[in-house]
Protein backbone atom coordinates (compact mmCIF):
# COMPACT_ATOMS: atom_id res chain seq x y z
CA UNK A 1 0.00 0.00 0.00
CA UNK A 2 1.07 3.54 -0.59
CA UNK A 3 -0.18 6.89 0.57
CA UNK A 4 -2.21 8.56 -2.18
CA UNK A 5 -4.11 11.83 -2.44
CA UNK A 6 -7.27 12.33 -4.48
CA UNK A 7 -9.15 15.51 -5.36
CA UNK A 8 -12.84 15.20 -4.47
CA UNK A 9 -15.89 17.22 -5.50
CA UNK A 10 -18.70 18.58 -3.29
CA UNK A 11 -16.73 18.56 0.00
CA UNK A 12 -17.63 21.82 1.69
CA UNK A 13 -17.06 21.60 5.44
CA UNK A 14 -16.26 19.61 8.54
CA UNK A 15 -19.58 17.76 8.28
CA UNK A 16 -18.55 16.45 4.88
CA UNK A 17 -15.12 15.55 6.22
CA UNK A 18 -16.68 13.69 9.17
CA UNK A 19 -18.89 11.68 6.82
CA UNK A 20 -15.92 10.74 4.66
CA UNK A 21 -13.74 9.68 7.57
CA UNK A 22 -16.45 7.70 9.38
CA UNK A 23 -18.28 6.08 6.47
CA UNK A 24 -15.13 4.97 4.66
CA UNK A 25 -13.03 3.95 7.68
CA UNK A 26 -14.04 0.28 7.80
CA UNK A 27 -13.23 -0.30 4.12
CA UNK A 28 -10.24 2.03 3.72
CA UNK A 29 -8.78 2.83 7.14
CA UNK A 30 -7.81 6.30 8.27
CA UNK A 31 -8.59 9.10 5.81
CA UNK A 32 -7.29 12.65 6.05
CA UNK A 33 -9.49 15.37 4.54
CA UNK A 34 -7.80 18.64 3.60
CA UNK A 35 -10.33 21.48 3.82
CA UNK A 36 -7.64 24.09 3.19
CA UNK A 37 -7.38 23.52 -0.58
CA UNK A 38 -9.77 23.70 -3.52
CA UNK A 39 -10.70 21.25 -4.78
CA UNK A 40 -10.69 19.41 -1.47
CA UNK A 41 -8.35 16.46 -1.09
CA UNK A 42 -8.45 13.17 0.74
CA UNK A 43 -5.30 11.23 1.59
CA UNK A 44 -5.10 7.61 2.62
CA UNK A 45 -3.00 4.46 2.43
CA UNK A 46 -4.50 2.44 -0.42
CA UNK A 47 -3.55 -0.27 -2.86
CA UNK A 48 -3.93 0.66 -6.52
CA UNK A 49 -6.36 -2.25 -6.93
CA UNK A 50 -8.77 -0.64 -4.40
CA UNK A 51 -8.88 2.82 -6.02
CA UNK A 52 -11.87 1.86 -8.19
CA UNK A 53 -13.72 0.67 -5.08
CA UNK A 54 -12.91 3.97 -3.34
CA UNK A 55 -14.15 5.89 -6.37
CA UNK A 56 -17.49 4.05 -6.27
CA UNK A 57 -17.83 4.51 -2.49
CA UNK A 58 -17.21 8.25 -2.84
CA UNK A 59 -19.81 8.51 -5.61
CA UNK A 60 -22.29 6.68 -3.37
CA UNK A 61 -21.84 9.38 -0.74
CA UNK A 62 -22.09 12.19 -3.31
CA UNK A 63 -18.38 13.02 -3.39
CA UNK A 64 -17.00 11.91 -6.78
CA UNK A 65 -13.40 12.41 -7.87
CA UNK A 66 -12.66 15.86 -9.26
CA UNK A 67 -13.16 16.00 -13.01
CA UNK A 68 -15.82 13.29 -13.16
CA UNK A 69 -18.92 14.43 -14.97
CA UNK A 70 -22.17 12.52 -15.19
CA UNK A 71 -24.58 14.81 -17.01
CA UNK A 72 -27.03 17.26 -15.48
CA UNK A 73 -29.32 14.78 -13.72
CA UNK A 74 -26.56 12.65 -12.20
CA UNK A 75 -24.46 15.71 -11.27
CA UNK A 76 -27.51 17.15 -9.51
CA UNK A 77 -28.06 13.82 -7.77
CA UNK A 78 -24.43 13.79 -6.57
CA UNK A 79 -24.81 17.29 -5.13
CA UNK A 80 -28.03 16.25 -3.35
CA UNK A 81 -26.33 13.14 -1.93
CA UNK A 82 -23.38 15.22 -0.72
CA UNK A 83 -25.79 17.68 0.95
CA UNK A 84 -27.43 14.83 2.87
CA UNK A 85 -24.04 13.25 3.70
CA UNK A 86 -22.84 16.62 4.99
CA UNK A 87 -25.93 17.05 7.18
CA UNK A 88 -25.49 13.54 8.60
CA UNK A 89 -21.82 14.30 9.29
CA UNK A 90 -22.72 17.52 11.12
CA UNK A 91 -25.36 15.72 13.15
CA UNK A 92 -22.93 12.97 14.18
CA UNK A 93 -20.34 15.57 15.24
CA UNK A 94 -23.01 17.35 17.32
CA UNK A 95 -23.98 14.03 18.95
CA UNK A 96 -20.36 13.28 19.70
CA UNK A 97 -20.11 10.11 17.56
In tens, the pLDDT along 4-31 reads: 999 999 999 999 999 999 999 999 999 9
Q: What are phi and psi of 43, to 5 degrees?
A: -130, 135
pLDDT digits (tens, 9 = 90+) for 30-75: 999 999 999 999 999 999 999 999 999 999 999 999 988 777 778 7
What's the pLDDT score for residue 90? 81
CATH of the domain at 72: 3.30.70.100
For the chain, counts of helices (H) and of strands (E) = 4, 3
What's the pLDDT score for residue 85? 78
What is the spatial distance between Cα 97 and Cα 59, in angstroms, rounded to a whole number?
23
What's the pLDDT score for residue 15? 92
Q: If you average pLDDT over residues 70-82, what whole number do you get? A: 80
Domain of residue 40 covers 2-95
What's the pLDDT score for residue 97? 59
What is the spatial distance between Cα 35 and Cα 55, in angstroms, rounded to a whole number?
19
What is the spatial distance between Cα 93 and Cα 21, in angstroms, rounded to a whole number?
12
Share of the chain above pLDDT 70, in %: 99
3-state SS, residue 64: coil
Number of domains the chain is built from: 1
Amino acid sequence: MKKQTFKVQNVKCGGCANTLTTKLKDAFGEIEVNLEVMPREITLEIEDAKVKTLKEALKGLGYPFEGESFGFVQDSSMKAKSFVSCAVGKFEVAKGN
